[in-house]
Amino acid sequence: MKVPFEFLEKMKKLLGKEEFDNFVKSYEMPRHYGLRVNTLKISVEEFLKTSPFKLKPIPWTNDGFYYLGEESPGKHPYYHAGLYYIQEPSAMLPGAVADARPGEYVLDLCAAPGGKTVQMAAGMKGKGLLIANDISADRVKALIKNIELCGVTNAIVTNEKPEKLVSKFKNFFDKILVDAPCSGEGMFRKDENAAKSWDKFKSELCCNMQRDILENAHEMLKPGGMLIYSTCTFSPEENEMMIGYFLDRFKEYELMDIVKTGGIDSGRPDWADGNKELVKSVRLWPHKLNGEGHFTALIRKKGHVESILDNKTTQSNSKELEPFYIFQEENLNRSIEGYFSIQGSHLYYLPVKSPDLSGIKISKFGWYLGEFARGRFEPKHSFIIPLKKEDLKITVDFDSKSGEVIKYLKGETLITEGTKGYTGVLVDGYTLGWAKQNDHMLKNLYPKGWRKMV
């Protein structure tokens, strides 16, 4: 592949001849492919028992696996059931370092397309609040789909500049992930377009954005909270030097150690005025491990952690919700308890009380359950994906190798007997979507925009 000459000259000066030669050889090697098991839907142990792919563990995360390049997990019904997320192996490290926990308040500040968002959501287990923000309205569309595909129920998606969020979330979050916009040098092997566009996104331009984003993140992080900073570039200006700048600017922060396993290397203090603390940051090099180029730093804001919002859930008794309760009684073996929001004719859910979001562009609010129409409640696709087989009263379960499951994903009507009414369509026991049984036909309710066309 063709790599920018100016970039190679810079790397040669940084690495020295011997390591540079090994680095350049990595561009002749094939890239590595990874998927991360979505533990909101299935445990790692269960997935390994049923997986049709040849998998090898990725060392720096408990739920990530390499798969062979000739395999096509994106075409398998399990992908459409949200059992895994396809993600570049090195890109799984920042989400693993974040180690999001149930009940926390977490911000993914530059979230699209959502790989790290859904990784942190899995750690939160549907509890607490996850704000996923991206400045690009186009990229937010992919973010929303991935959140819904993975069955995330506690996320709000915003489409704002970071400084706009500061007014609503001052000292609010337990953890903030900044997967910063960068020059993308670490993705040259994976994406040749990244190499072609390098001249347009050099470090100088990216550094200005990164400084602004980090300063806004500082305003929104609680004392005692954790800031995770990552890039997919090799540039010291965007990595060690950026973290060095941040630590000099804000004295209340300290770098935390990150476990170095599977070939992960330490950060390079000598590339940032010799700040020895920067050895706690980490680099992933394509010539030292099976993955692309990445940088990650874990930074703690000193002080005491205090809870901002009430974590207790409550069930609303509003008469407006009666059609939903009737649907729930007729179709589910569980009750949905939490905070409900009716916006127009649409019903949404969060496990905790929503913060004040007035003036903020909301692209997705919590778990979208469905719509009230003609005195009834009609469930939407995003409602069923987080549910389990045992949550549903009526189901039809297709084998992943069956023709029926492919027909369903294509949006076709299926000829089958069953109990009249809403039916949960499953693949090997995992929720895939809704259908509606009428007489001898199963009317397909799989979203038109999601249907397989092959």
Q: CA 284, CA 261: separation in Å to the nearest integer?
A: 10
**Tell me, what DSSP letter sits at residue 319?**
G
Q: The tokens of 407 are what?
A: 């027909």
Amino acid letter for position 76:
H
Alpha helices in 75-159 (DSSP H): 77-80, 92-98, 115-124, 137-149
Active site residue 232: yes
Q: Residue 20 has which token pair?
A: 């540079």
- Token duo for residue 262: 């599977």
Q: DSSP readout, 170-232?
A: TT-EEEEEEE-----GGGTTT-HHHHHTGGGS-HHHHHHHHHHHHHHHHHHEEEEEEEEEEES
Phi, psi of 265 (to 5 degrees): -105, 160
Assess contact for 132 and 114: CB atoms under 8 A. Answer: yes
Is it true that the peptide bond before 386 is cis, omega within 30 degrees of 0? Answer: no
Given the residues 150, 206, 207, 232, select the one marked as catalytic.
232
How many CA atoms are closer than 13 Å to the CA of 200, on its beta-carbon side? 6
Distance in angstroms (rounded) separating the CA atoms of residues 23 and 85: 29
Please answer whether residues 229 and 98 qualify as being in contact, where contact means their C-beta atoms are separated by less than 8 angstroms: no
| DSSP 8-state code for residue 135 | S
Measure the CA–CA gap between 152 and 40, rounded to whole angstroms: 8
Where in the sequence numbering do the catalytic residues fall?
232
